[in-house]
Amino acid sequence: MMRLSRRGLLPLLASLAGLRRALSPETAMAEGDRFPAGFVWGASTSSYQIEGAVNADGRGPSIWDVFSHTPGKVKGGDTGDVACDHYHRWREDVEWLARGGFSAYRFSTAWPRILPAGEGAVEERGLDFYDRLVDGLLGRGVAPWLCLYHWDLPQALQDRGGWLHRDIAEKFADYARIVARRLGDRVKHWAMLNEPNVHALFGHGIGGHAPGLAGLSNMLAAIHHQNLAQGRALQALRAERAGLALGTVLSLQPARPSSERAADRAAAARFDAFWNGAVLDPLFAGAYPATMSADLAPLIVAGDLEAIRQPVDFLGVNYYAPMWIADAPGSLFGAWFGATPPGLRFTSFGWPIDASGLAETLIRLRDDYGNPNVYVTENGACYDDPPPAADGTVHDEDRVAYLRDHLAAARGALAAGVRLGGYFVWSLLDNFEWAEGYSRRFGIISVDFATLTRTPKTSFAFLADAIRRG
Ligand code: FCB
């Protein structure tokens, strides 16, 4: 196991000093871009994407273990077996957070580490790992923000239907209670789910992600049962312990029409309902968007919508890009990604770059959803970074430009009265990017997946500088 000794720390401090010197006026934040005192600066990760150690300490298999080990499912045959080996190297990773001045770290607990069969016997060694991590974070002045589910469902539950069955909601609430009993004395911020819409569409609607299911009815079941599980877990944790800040994390993106054609405008509205509305409306208004309610009706049992509509202390918003949507009669729900406007720029993942979509999303929450307390819980960009330079830094000026533009958009939303309390970059580390494996890098710290060496990027120094300035 890697432990960060004093000897290990010295090169780290030296490289940070070098990083600061490397920050040119172009890569630093503009003076006017100040954030309010108390603004939370964080970095995000998730369990399967970074932990590795998939067989350690009694962990059970998750749907992503099974999926990634199925030939042809993940680019290059990559798996999360080792990932960033964060399970053993977490002390070094906490050290990077502290050195960057981050006040918060969002991570997820792996359900199959804690309940290897998804329910029943609790694996204390799994809880012990998160216990150590939480204490390590607090000891370095970094607040733990815990997300209970970032897509790594125990395979044993998948074998019994997973998110297709409504009984998963109670199982999730039981799991949430177990984690809160162990960590609720030290972890204040709890997010129930990560991006239920992405998990439903990509994992259950088109099958590109685990568990690899396809079809509209599977997608809708996964949406509704995640919403229900989120509601049940919010109720369970609220009853379990006073003083917790409870919320959830959604992927929200403006759905813009691909052209001015009426059919594309209607498709964009439909996509918006199935993507943003399907997770926002039941949570904040206790109803699904009208365009999808007939499709969902067979899944809804009396009391479900009341259970889903729970007060939240915060809403986490993950934002990467707007979507341009076209009429697509043969697709899952009649609308799909279409042509993007001319002149648009893209990251190396092919995702459009448009920071205005972040402000638009936050302002919509202000106007249509009662202006909740929000945090940007993921934002970042994928680029094909160069290898570390002689100065010990990975130079990622493109990512810096992306972050600077999106922070400016966040600042603009704050000025417009959005109750934005913080910003978490995705991601602390380069990691296992789902079906793309290790080919897509989002980290502000570079990871050499052969040696597992961590090297800071210019974007790390940029954020550290922005945090210092406030
Ligand atoms: C989000 C996921 C996260 C990561 C980023 C790039 O949708 O929550 O795990 O894959 O995209």
pLDDT digits (tens, 9 = 90+) for 137-194: 999 999 999 999 999 999 999 999 999 999 999 999 999 999 999 999 999 999 999 9
Nearest residue to 220 (alpha-carbon basis) of 174, 169, 175, 279:
279
Helix (H, G, I), strand (E, B) or coil at 147: strand
What's the CA gap between 102 and 231, in Å, rounded?
30
Whether residue 202 has its Cβ less than 6 Å from ligand 1: no
Catalytic residue among 95, 119, 123, 195: 195
Q: Which atom of ligand 1 is nearest to the CA of 434?
A: 10
What mean pLDDT is predicted for residues 442-458? Answer: 98
CA–chain centroid gap for 65, Å, is 19
Q: What is the predicted pLDDT for the residue at 26?
A: 52
Q: Is 306 a catalytic residue?
A: no
Task: Write out pLDDT tens, residues 104-149.
Answer: 999 999 999 999 999 999 999 999 999 999 999 999 999 999 999 9
Asked if 97 contacts 460 with a C-beta cutoff of 8 angstroms, the reply is no
Helix (H, G, I), strand (E, B) or coil at 251: strand
Task: Write out pLDDT tens, residues 372-401.
Answer: 999 999 999 999 999 999 999 999 999 999
Asked if 282 contacts 289 with a C-beta cutoff of 8 angstroms, the reply is no
Tallying the residues shown for the chain, one arrives at 470
Q: What is the predicted pLDDT for the residue at 35?
A: 96
Report how far ligand 1's centroid is from the alpha carbon of 210 (Å).
14
Report how far ligand 1's centroid is from the alpha carbon of 93 (Å).
19
CA–chain centroid gap for 36, Å, is 24
Q: Residue 94: pLDDT band by 50, 70, 90 thresholds? A: very high
Task: Say whether pLDDT at 9 is over 50.
Answer: no
Q: Which atom of ligand 1 is nearest to the CA of 440?
A: 6
Bridge partners, residue 144, by sequence: 105
Find tokens 């990083």 and name the residue: 19
Question: Which has more confidence, 34 or 283?
Answer: 283
What's the CA gap between 353 and 402, in Å, rounded?
8
Mean pLDDT, the chain, as a whole number? 94
Whether residue 379 has its Cβ less than 6 Å from ligand 1: no
Lookup: tokens for 86 = 């964060």
Whether residue 35 has its Cβ less than 6 Å from ligand 1: no
Task: Say whether pLDDT at 340 is over 60.
Answer: yes
DSSP string spanning 254-289? -EEESSS-HHHHHHHHHHHIIIIIHHHHHHHHSS--
What's the CA gap between 460 and 22, in Å, rounded?
11
What's the CA gap between 323 and 264, in Å, rounded?
12
458 membership: H or E segment, kind and range? helix 458-469
Whether residue 377 has its Cβ less than 6 Å from ligand 1: no
Q: Is 436 a catalytic residue?
A: no
Whether residue 194 has its Cβ less than 6 Å from ligand 1: yes
Task: Say whether pLDDT at 6 is over 50.
Answer: no
